[in-house]
Amino acid sequence: MKELELYLHIPFCERKCAYCDFLSAPADLPVRISYIKKLQEEIAYYGAQYGEYQVSSIFFGGGTPTILEGYQLAAILETVKEHFNITTDAEITVECNPGTLTAGKAEKLVQAGFNRLSMGLQSADDRELQLLGRIHNFAQFLESYDLARKAGFRNINVDLMSALPGQTLKSWQDTLQKVTALRPEHISAYSLIIEEGTPFYERFAEDERIREEGGHPRLLPEEDVERQMYELTETFLHTKGYERYEISNYAKPGYECRHNCGYWIRKDYLGLGLGASSLVEHQRFQNTSELKTYLEQEYSPQCEGQHERIAETIQLQEETGLTQTGHHIHIETLDKKSEMEEFMFLGLRKTKGISKKEFIERFGCSMDSVYGKPLIESMKQGMMKEEGDRVFLTQDGTLVSNQVLCEFLFDEEV
């Protein structure tokens, strides 16, 4: 059977963090209940369309999925099991914010079949957490982590964030030390990105202006300090038994996140819920990001095949110029050029990089014939390296990965 990954979006949270630009917001109980019902309808609808697929991983993301009750999350997962073919060893992850987990909820999640928990700590420093606008402190995280272990979770990821306002190399190392002492199986360590449209953007854009005028020292760490934080992360976590397998992800042997690895190698995945994106058989499509529109949609199991419907939608878009119809917006059939770009851009995020042989098998041409110039230039600059069949980023290349990876985006038709 064909392999498929599922992503289910739970767009609710207790309150928005100051740095967050994800599709999420607080919502009252009636809205949450209506959303769950609609999500279950959508699950049933697509289960009928993708019966030939076998689901190898399921990821409940948000927002804060654990803002829902345990029985609600269990009911959603049960609906997935009823309508999709799930492998017996499927990785089933649910994201969790400390402060939203109780002993009863954690036990219910394990009983329902969730076998991986991803906890959003970000920092072990309460001052940093408060500045980020998090709803918890470090003590509450420790309590939630303990509840998860006692409930039976044997695969836990902890999300961390570096380059925070006022953060120092010492406070970052302290966070790493405190987290690794708990022995989670996986750690995601990201650098803060100031996204436009967030309170952080408004605050720190103004801060930079004042700093440039000599008003006060910069609140965000300087670039050389941010680089030191990244280097410290890999060095320190290596001593604790964690290996970096992707730009920002570290795991103990055998605990790499299978769901995210699927994204990086471009496995087919289906996104369900508000604003969720999908990639299935060379086609990208995305749910509406308007909650009212999503809740008003009708999902009938007696519908035409999904692939045929998407083809009709694309034709309609070409004829009318409309970008929205049916259940999705921005439906796109990827051409060879786009798929090669994604193969390079996503695959090079992995520490093992990409295979030249696989490139030929997928696209019928050599990697050098398409990307010879940026490959040679990146290797000359020490940003990339080639060993045997594989090409990958060096340590220096990883530190400026976005800049390097952009070299593999076409600026003209191929």
Over residues 4-20, the pLDDT tens digits come to 999 999 999 988 887 88
Phi-psi region of 253 (alpha: psi -120 to 50; beta: other; left: phi over 0): beta
What is the rounded radius of gyration, in angstroms, for the C-alpha atoms of the chain? 22
What confidence tens digit (pLDDT) does each residue in 263-306 have? 999 999 999 999 999 999 889 999 999 999 999 998 865 444 44
| Burial of residue 314 (number of CB atoms within 10 Å: 0-12, 13-18, 19+) | middle
Contact present, 250 and 243 (Cβ < 8 Å): yes
Place of tokens 């952080």: 200
pLDDT(205) > 90: no
Look up the pTM and report it.
0.89
Least confident span in 105-109, 184-188, 213-217, 229-233 = 213-217
